[in-house]
Structure 1
Amino acid sequence: MAALHLKRRLIGSELARPPWQPLLSNFQVTCHHRSRECAAGLLSYDISNMGDQETCISAPNPISHDLYASLVFYFKYASSAYTLVCPRPNGNMLVTQLANPLTDIQGFVARDDHRKEVVIALRGSASVTDILLDCHIALVPFISPGVKVPPGARVHAGFLLAWDSVALEVITVVKKQLSAHEGYSVVTTGHSLGGSLALFAAVTLRQNFKSVHIRTYSYGAPRSGNKIFADYVNATFGEAAYRVVHGNDGVPTMIPTGLGYHHHGVEYWQRESPPSEETTVQCNAEGEDATCSASIPSQGVNVAHTNYFGILVSTPFCL
């Protein structure tokens, strides 16, 4: 097993730590794209060459008030997924809690009868088991129940293993909910690792429920697959795939493009404080926009990763 290199980093006060601290400030590349084991801690790479990046066709534009409110709304589900039991996610009905003891994946399925949505929220890294999954960064074929993606599409091996550990349960629960509630749409959401799982959930559910409208929201998620996979996601979901980045959050860029990874679009970047629709911009729809968060070298897990829209990650919205 690769050597464990841990550094504790203070994020805010000692009393306001998210449950997944302590965090790594840097991960010196002891884990590469074929490694199966690596350091415990959410990972960042000290790599000077981040690979070629596309330039933005036009300057990013501020988003609307309604879109901003929507991004905040679905982040509250993602934040609540860190709570062991969330009786009323975002004030809505809890359908079931999700948990797998082997992969330590946690989350829930909720139902919003006002918006007519079934919502799947998946937790980010919160344990050593999660971290080991984070580190398993080989690019592998997307093999999941009912899924067929283009030849050559590859995804993060650890993230896929984590998603597949709950995929059948999620499909079964969603199928039952959609059968009982005609016309409902599906939303997936998550922060960090949970954002990548939410993306994989959306891809899987899209292929299992082809007539259902599906949207996916990720917050501070790392790159999750190669360019063929990213292009497939963009073609399948278009602007229904929302990828949100807060300032200099280092997690979205810590797996470099030089390892064959590529972000899907569309990125919504809160480029400065305070958080608002005026300080949040919509970036290039192709995923890698050199004028948005990709313009900042990865700092790994930092303060920006621990809060979105002024909300500390892991804050529960469960009543």
Structure 2
Amino acid sequence: MTSHERTTTSENKTYDHQPVSISPELFDELTHYFKYASSAYSPVCMRPNGNTLVLQFGNYISDIQGFIARDDDRKELVVALRGSASITDALLDANILLVPFITPGVNLPPKARVHAGFLAAWDTVAVQITAALAVQRRLHPGHRLVTVGHSMGGSLATLAAVSLLQIFPASPILDQTRTYSYGAPRTGNEVFAAYINAEFGARAFRVVHTNDGVPTIIPTALGYHHHGIEYWQHVDPPSATTTLRCAAGGEDPCCSARIPSGGVTPAHATYLGITVPTPFCL
């Protein structure tokens, strides 16, 4: 397909786009933030990605855990959320009812709906995270917010980014909140995806490794829709040339959406050459 050709999906949506390889700089950036996502699986991470640990958070009931790190060189506060690692997590994953995004300080379009299990999980740690960030924002007003996560953690990172963007609006001189997800399932409906695309645009990075079946394990037939932009590493080994930037609409038929979900495939356990849960905590 050339850049001038059009692809029409079964939903009668037309994409004027051809996936193109990303730059080496962007590939390094995606790898950098995945190290946080992988480290979130560690019970304790004293120096996430070599940076300052602000808070190691968790909730025993929901079994959600992660950390907040501060990178003073990049001037960032990074919220990393762990993916599924227990039966409790699996039960949250399975609660796929689409519900309104009701959480303190957040106001989304009326028809926006999100995964009930992921929202319940986020709500169990949201207060811990926002309280710690409020202190850090006062101490470090020049630091931007970044959320990251793998698998369910990627979906939680998306919900976290939406919440933090509204609770902590960026000043005009700062880059706004960014979010990076790796192997994340669909998180909400098309209205929610459109909201993410409008508010974050190119600041929302959604990475998929080859035939990882988790990003498509919740089908669009249930009302779900991915946000963009997807970065699809379509073949191994990982590199800038083998990683494609897909259409911003979220369900690019030229990228991973064209592969039927095989569930939790081996590709889900490795991203950008890093095996989950490799810790980067020194």
Deviations 1:35-66 (A, max 9, x none): xxxxxxxxxxxxxxx97474532210100111
Letter in 1 for 2:96: I
- Structure-2 residue corresponding to 1:217: 180
How many angstroms does 1:211 deviate by?
Answer: 1.9
Q: Are positions 1:123 and 2:86 aligned together?
A: no
Measured in 1, the distance between the counterparts of 2:10 and 2:85 equals 29
Letter in 1 for 2:200: F
Letter in 1 for 2:216: T
CA RMSD, aligned part only? 1.2
- Structure-2 residue corresponding to 1:18: none
Measured in 2, the distance between the counterparts of 1:284 and 1:51 equals 16
Measured in 1, the distance between the counterparts of 2:49 and 2:122 equals 23
Q: Are positions 1:262 and 2:262 aligned together?
A: no
Letter in 2 for 1:133: L
Deviations 1:223-275 (A, max 9, x none): 00000000001000000000000000000001000000000010000001110
Match of 1:280 among 235, 238, 243: 243
Measured in 1, the distance between the counterparts of 2:69 and 2:104 equals 21
Q: Are positions 1:159 and 2:122 aligned together?
A: no
Q: Which runs of 4+ in 1 moved over 4 A?
A: none
**2:278 partner SS:** coil
Match of 2:60 among 101, 104, 114: 101
Contact 1:51 1:257 in 2 (8 A): no
- Structure-2 residue corresponding to 1:79: 38
Measured in 2, the distance between the counterparts of 1:237 and 1:175 equals 21
Structure 1: segments with no counterpart, 5+ residues? 1-49
Aligned residues: 270
Letter in 1 for 2:134: K
Q: How has the CA–CA distance of structure 1 residues 314 and 53 changed in structure 2, closer, same or farther, with 3 Å as cutoff? A: farther
- Structure-1 residue corresponding to 2:51: 92
Give 1 or 2: higher strand fraction: 2
- Structure-2 residue corresponding to 1:291: 254
Contact 1:55 1:290 in 2 (8 A): no
Measured in 2, the distance between the counterparts of 1:55 and 1:270 equals 23
Q: Taking structure 2 as the reference length, what is the TM-score of the superposition? A: 0.94
Residues 45-60 of structure 1: matches in 2 within 5 Å?
A: 52=11, 54=13, 56-60=15-19
Contact 2:170 2:177 in 1 (8 A): no
**1:97 partner SS:** strand
Measured in 2, the distance between the counterparts of 1:250 and 1:229 equals 22
Q: Are positions 1:193 and 2:156 aligned together?
A: no
**1:155 partner SS:** strand
- Structure-1 residue corresponding to 2:4: none
Measured in 2, the distance between the counterparts of 1:140 and 1:74 equals 29
Contact 1:61 1:283 in 2 (8 A): yes
Measured in 2, the distance between the counterparts of 1:132 and 1:209 equals 31
Residues 297-316 of structure 1: matches in 2 within 5 Å?
A: 297-316=260-279
Percent of residue pairs bearing the same amino acid type: 61
Contact 2:202 2:229 in 1 (8 A): yes
Structure 2: segments with no counterpart, 5+ residues? 1-8
Measured in 1, the distance between the counterparts of 2:155 and 2:229 equals 14
- Structure-2 residue corresponding to 1:241: 204
Contact 2:39 2:280 in 1 (8 A): yes
**1:299 partner SS:** coil
Contact 1:145 1:167 in 2 (8 A): no
